Amino acid sequence: MTASGADRKVVLTALKPTGEAHAGNYVGMFRPALSSASEHPEYQFLYFIADYHALTKVRDPERFRHLCYDNAAAWIALGLDTHNAILYRQSDVPEVFELAWLLSCVTPKGLMNRAHAYKAAVAANRRRSLAEEDAGINMGLYNYPILMAADILLFQTDLVPVGKDQVQHVEFARDIAGSFNSAYGPLLKLPQHVVGETIPGLDGRKMSASLGNTIPLFAPPEELRKRVYQVRTDSSAPDAPKDPTTSTLFLIYEQFATAQQTQAMRERYLAGRVSWEEAKRELSDILAASLAGPRRLYHHLMSDTRQLDEAFAEGGRRARTLAGPLMERVRKAIGRL
């Protein structure tokens, strides 16, 4: 039986356009989100491009526009059905920003002081012995968790798939919703987080656009090969046994290869029958082959962005339709109506 209306669970997934879609996004977000949508047609799935979140870092208008299109094209190229799920751009839903202000009025400053990103920026300034520990920190970074809370709470979200480093944002959303509900009544649903997988990047750290250690999903095969050959490896001899559980190359390979290919490669690692050179070449080939179809569709969408503009317009309209009833109740609760 298919749920409808208020009975449908809401699952919300965000992608911040601070870099082109990469293999880490695919493993941790694209693939599980799309798989979940096919397994649970009774749920309401929302996918949004968190464009205004990106403004804390991206200041080049042309790159900002390109990355917004890139992220949307990635979703569609990898199989997102925009007729069933809702794909929208954050900035096309002004209710998000209205709710963010209302939430900021009930959020303790001390809560924001504990945000990981803010604390990391302050710690970096202290290590540099700067006189002002808030030097270079903009209010967008500081208020980021409140805007993220508005993104989540506006749609009465049940589940938010996130990486391990993003769990705090969902916990903050719960705390902020609790503060609002204490002041105005039980209006906002408290969401739950779902932690996704991660894979290492070129340098062995978590693959992340902010670290510059990514493998772009839709790069041409020659560029994919170039990036894969930058993956850091140890000094093991070509015929030395290798531990697949600690190899960045293998950890990426198994996410794109078939089960049979993965098992065969694992055996070669353990038996010392694969060199790092061979492992890099085979990972390059697997990436190029498995992403060939999505790559063609991605470049088609990026060559003429009118289809993406239409998807944004329709997605924004549908998202606002969902957001409207809650905002009416919120405005009434604070005394505006």
Tokens for 27? 């493993």
Give the percent of the chain with pLDDT over 90: 91
Q: How many CB atoms lie within 10 A of CB 36?
A: 16
User: Start-end ranges of CATH 1.10.240.10 in the chain?
Assistant: 219-290
Query: 111, 164 in Cβ contact below 8 A?
Result: no
* Local structure of 196: helix, strand or coil: coil
DSSP category for residue 86: E
Cite the DSSP H helix spans in the chain. 23-25, 31-39, 51-54, 61-77, 95-104, 109-113, 116-127, 139-153, 167-184, 221-228, 248-256, 259-271, 276-290, 292-303, 306-334
Under 8 Å between Cβ of 37 and 13 = no
Handedness of CA 296, 298, 300, 303 (dihedral sign): negative
Which pLDDT does position 5 carry in this prediction?
52
Encoded amino acid at 243, one letter: D
Q: Which residue in this structure is represented by tokens 């697949």?
A: 244
* Whole-number Å distance between alpha carbons of 126 and 145: 22
pLDDT along the chain (337 residues), means of 10: 63 95 94 91 95 95 97 97 94 98 97 95 94 94 97 97 90 98 97 92 93 94 96 94 96 96 97 97 96 97 97 98 97 91
Taking a C-beta distance cutoff of 8 angstroms, is the pair 22, 214 a contact? yes
Q: Specify the pTM.
A: 0.92
For the chain, the straight-line distance linking the first and the last C-alpha, in angstroms and rounded, comes to 38
Sheet-wide strand order for 86-89: 86-89, 44-49, 10-15, 159-162, 192-195
Q: Please list the residue range(s) of the chain that carry CATH number 3.40.50.620.
A: 5-199+305-334
Beta bridge partners of 69: none
Report pLDDT for 164.
83
CA distance 161 to 33: 8
- What Cα–Cα distance (Å) separates residue 76 from each residue in 32, 103, 129, 230? 15, 32, 46, 29
13 close to 161: Cβ distance less than 8 angstroms: yes
What is the assigned CATH class of domain 219-290? mainly alpha
Residue 184 CB contacts under 8 Å (≥ 6 apart), including other chains: 330, 333, 334
Residue with tokens 């992608």: 15
pLDDT at position 192 is: 96
At residue 7, the pLDDT reads 74
3-state secondary structure of 40: coil
Superfamily of domain 5-199+305-334: HUPs (3.40.50.620)
